[in-house]
Structure 1
Amino acid sequence: MHDIRILHDLLKKQCPAIHAKRLSSLMTATRALLDGQQLSLTQLGRNITGKVAPKHNIKRMDRLLGNTQLHSERLAIYRWHAHLLCGANPMPIILVDWSDVREQTRHLTLRASVSVQGRSVVLYERVFPFAQYNSPVSHNPFLQELAAVLPQGCCPLIVTDAGYRNPWFRAVDALGWFWLGRVRGDVGFKRHDSQHWQSNKTFYPSANTKAQYLGAGLLGRKSPINCHLYLFKAAAKQCRDKRSSKAGRRHTDRRADGG
């Protein structure tokens, strides 16, 4: 395929540390994925075209996926890709979120993406065990690796949905980056010009589709962080089957209990 050849030549030029045979196997796996649309070790091997028996191709993919050298070189590939996406933008807006690797598995992906012409394009991602979900054990190394991937001098705005709390925001702050998050639950907020803490829920009745600036202050009583708080309520989506806003919250928000 012509596009595979272009990708091969680009990686060979931009990531010269990747061994030629390893790069060739990586391109073979990429082509097998595009042809078969199935991402598993066995299916990658079976979808490789040629005269070689499937069992030998499966072993080839097994060696590739287990190659520790390739895993150590992945940051170079992400770095090249990030330079293409963010090289001309000193302050990209990066969306960070968790997603399931596969249903019924105990692993999750933490992914950083940018929006390109309305589509989400991955900048960097890493898989963590479910026990490390939404914790500093996964967040801190992820942010450090994301910093290593981004172009030098890049100062992104990290955007997250509800669920990320002050330890995450503080880790983003430590990198000199900006952050934007959504507050969920009962969280305390104290304006700098006030001595009294307020629950974020006290602002909910006045929320509407026009953003309101509530002021600068401290967020969170136990481990407060400086921030600017805004109040906003998105317009209700017109859906035939209206579900509770609480539906699905317990899907990945529960930690493993060893069972």
Structure 2
Amino acid sequence: MTQWLLQSLSLPLILIDWSPLTADQSQQLLRAALPTGGRTITLYEEVHPRKKLGNPKVQQQFLRRLQELLPPGVTPIIVADSGFRTPFFRAVEALNWHWLGRIRGRDFIAWADEPKQWLPAKSLHARATRKAKCLGKALWVRSNPLPGALVAFYRAPNIVKI
């Protein structure tokens, strides 16, 4: 089914996320899904015990299994939230795929032209607007720098009226 869904897409967006599967969160679901029409279609998923949540080896194996399901010639853009760290994104790059990730406020970044001057990512919040804006090339995570382009974007919180 995955091959059929992706056969006409050369650069599909694939959302990857961990989610609790049980009320006590003892079981976690790692899922890859294709966004379509405001919903997602699951392409592949695995269940792991909570102690494996965020485990780099589990995530790398997940990516390799996902790769086996993709049709030839498809280069996905992996979209992941701030729970995924640099080893995950390096594994995505090792597959010659593209990625888009969210940086946590507690992370640090350095501009590519000033690689020794690390700033809290939180300091960029004021530059975010509702229209995505490329801030330039940067390094992410001091202990294991990962290069990428930084884009600032602010989304208004969802307000539910009752």
Q: Return the TM-score normalized by structure 1.
A: 0.59
Q: Deviations over 1:210-238 (max 9, x none)?
A: 22211102111000011000111102322
Other-structure match for 1:117: 37
Other-structure match for 1:15: none
Offset at 1:198?
1.4
Offset at 1:116?
2.6
Other-structure match for 2:75: 155
Q: Deviations over 1:94-113 (max 9, x none)?
A: 01111222212521110000
Q: Deviations over 1:180-215 (max 9, x none)?
A: 011113212111222422111111123221222111
Amino acid at match of 2:151: Y
Residues of 1 paired with 2:107 and 2:19: CA distance?
25
Of 207, 219, 228, which residue of structure 1 is paired with 2:140? Answer: 219
Residues of 2 paired with 1:147 and 1:179: CA distance?
14
Alignment of structure 1 residues 1-259 onto 2, 5 Å: 81-104=1-24, 106-194=26-114, 195-240=116-161
Structure 2 unaligned segments of length 5 or more: list them.
none
Q: Deviations over 1:106-150 (max 9, x none)?
A: 211100000233321010001111110011131011011000111
Question: Which gives a bigger RCO, structure 1 or 2 (Cα 8 Å, sep 6+)?
Answer: 2
RMSD of aligned residue pairs (Cα, Å) = 1.5
Q: Return the TM-score normalized by structure 2.
A: 0.92
Amino acid at match of 1:230: V
Residues of 2 paired with 1:137 and 1:95: CA distance?
19
Offset at 1:90?
1.3
Structure number, greater radius of gyration: 1
Per the alignment, do residues 105 and 181 of structure 1 end up closer, same or farther by CA in structure 2, a change over 3 Å counting? closer
Residues of 2 paired with 1:190 and 1:237: CA distance?
31
Q: Is the CA contact (8 Å cut-off) linking 2:108 and 2:140 kept in structure 1?
A: yes
Other-structure match for 1:22: none
Q: Deviations over 1:60-113 (max 9, x none)?
A: xxxxxxxxxxxxxxxxxxxxx111100111111001111222212521110000
Structure that is richer in strand per residue: 2
Per the alignment, do residues 237 and 118 of structure 1 end up closer, same or farther by CA in structure 2, a change over 3 Å counting? closer
Residues of 2 paired with 1:192 and 1:110: CA distance?
32
